[in-house]
Amino acid sequence: MTTSRRTSRFGPSTAIVLLALSLLAAACSGIEAVPTPSTTTTMAPQAVPLLADGPGRYEATVTSGDALRRFVLVVPERILDPAPLLLVFHGFTGSPADVEEQTGFTELAEEHGFLVAYPEGEGRPRSWRADPRRGDRDVEFVRDLVAAISAEVLVDPGRVYAAGMSNGGAMAARLACDASDVIAAVGTVAAPYPLIDCEDSRPVPLVAFHGTADLIVPYEGVEPLFPRVEDWLRGWADRPGCDPDTSVSRITGDVTLTAWTGCRTDVALYTVLDGRHGWPGPREKSWWGSTTDSADASEVIWQFLAGR
């Protein structure tokens, strides 16, 4: 893969409940977040097309609302035509580079021929507005980002997906509600699911990973901040007013799969027994102990998304 670090500018367009905030901030990224200084320069809005030099890894910006928002876009050497697009959201305090390394989605994009974008949150520390009470700024950013990428590459509008870790997973789950016209399916890992009312939105398929020993986003939830993981996912499956079929199977020695099917959307939960707060798979790297390397969350998520 040809690596490219260019800055292009497009035209207009969420533990224990008593943990200290600083501890939560450091944890929810899943890996240590050390921002890397940028040495890029800003070009005129349309001076050079984003993909002027073909496939590569592009550090870019898009205007959304009153802000210039940053993201990384990876364009593989071989992409499907039209190309699926996966948006991957970093955790609290994290960065695009963190979640790219943590998940390995760039390598999967090369293998399967899809585009992958790693958006950057706002604030100090960086985070996502997964709670609707914080406004729609990040939802609008996602809409603007998808539109901007689609203007540069032939994106399949029916195959735009979202995935994320922790606070980034919560953001992906929010998009399944508030941007169901854009997002076809969602994958989450260790997410504190937002309290949202999606009665009127299109049911969006969702696959999740969560460890039973997660101290940062407890599997049993922390009321009233966020609900028990299984309760939220079951509610997502039967949200259209249907009682879904439920099946439970063991995938590996420490991973079980609970699937809710037979309704208007499919929901799958991979539960990591004694798993901590991290991204399961061969690249797992967490301050909070082991998740598992017996299941690759990135590969499982992509196969689920790609089948929708």
Domain CATH for 185? 3.40.50
What is d(CA 37, CA 46) in angstroms, rounded to the nearest whole number?
25
Q: Is residue 44 part of a domain?
A: yes
Checking if the pLDDT of 74 tops 70, the result is: yes
Residue 271 phi/psi, 5-degree rounding, is: -95, 125
pLDDT digits 0-9 by tens, 175-234: 999 999 999 999 999 999 998 888 778 889 999 999 999 999 999 999 888 999 999 999
**pLDDT confidence of residue 5:** 53
Contact criterion met (CB below 8 Å) for 280 and 296 = yes
Contact criterion met (CB below 8 Å) for 94 and 29 = yes
Contact criterion met (CB below 8 Å) for 185 and 86 = no
**pLDDT confidence of residue 71:** 97
Checking if the pLDDT of 99 tops 60, the result is: yes
Q: Which residue has the higher pLDDT, 69 or 41?
A: 69
What is d(CA 174, CA 274) in angstroms, rounded to the nearest whole number?
27
Average pLDDT over residues 282-293: 74
pLDDT digits 0-9 by tens, 250-287: 999 999 999 999 887 899 999 999 999 999 998 766 66
Tell me the two tokens of residue 74.
């990876």
Place of tokens 């966020």: 226
**pLDDT confidence of residue 199:** 75
Instruction: Output the average pLDDT for the chain.
Output: 84
Q: Is residue 207 part of a domain?
A: no
**pLDDT confidence of residue 242:** 81
Checking if the pLDDT of 121 tops 70, the result is: yes
- On the question of a cis peptide bond just before residue 224, with omega within 30 degrees of 0, the verdict is yes
What is d(CA 155, CA 149) in angstroms, rounded to the nearest whole number?
8
Task: Print the domain residue range for 301.
Answer: 7-201+294-306
Checking if the pLDDT of 27 tops 90, the result is: no
Q: Is residue 42 part of a domain?
A: yes
What is d(CA 151, CA 11) in angstroms, rounded to the nearest whole number?
10
Residue 28 banded pLDDT, cuts 50, 70, 90: very low
Q: Is residue 238 part of a domain?
A: no
Q: For the chain, give the percent of residues with pLDDT over 90.
A: 69
Sign of CA dihedral 124, 130, 133, 135: positive
Average pLDDT over residues 119-124: 96
Q: Is residue 50 part of a domain?
A: yes
Tell me the two tokens of residue 307.
């089948």
Q: Is residue 166 part of a domain?
A: yes
Q: Which residues pair with 268 in a beta bridge?
A: 207, 259
Checking if the pLDDT of 236 tops 70, the result is: yes
Number of domains in the chain: 1
Q: Quote the distance between the C-alpha of residue 103 and its chain's center.
A: 10
Residue 273 phi/psi, 5-degree rounding, is: -65, 125
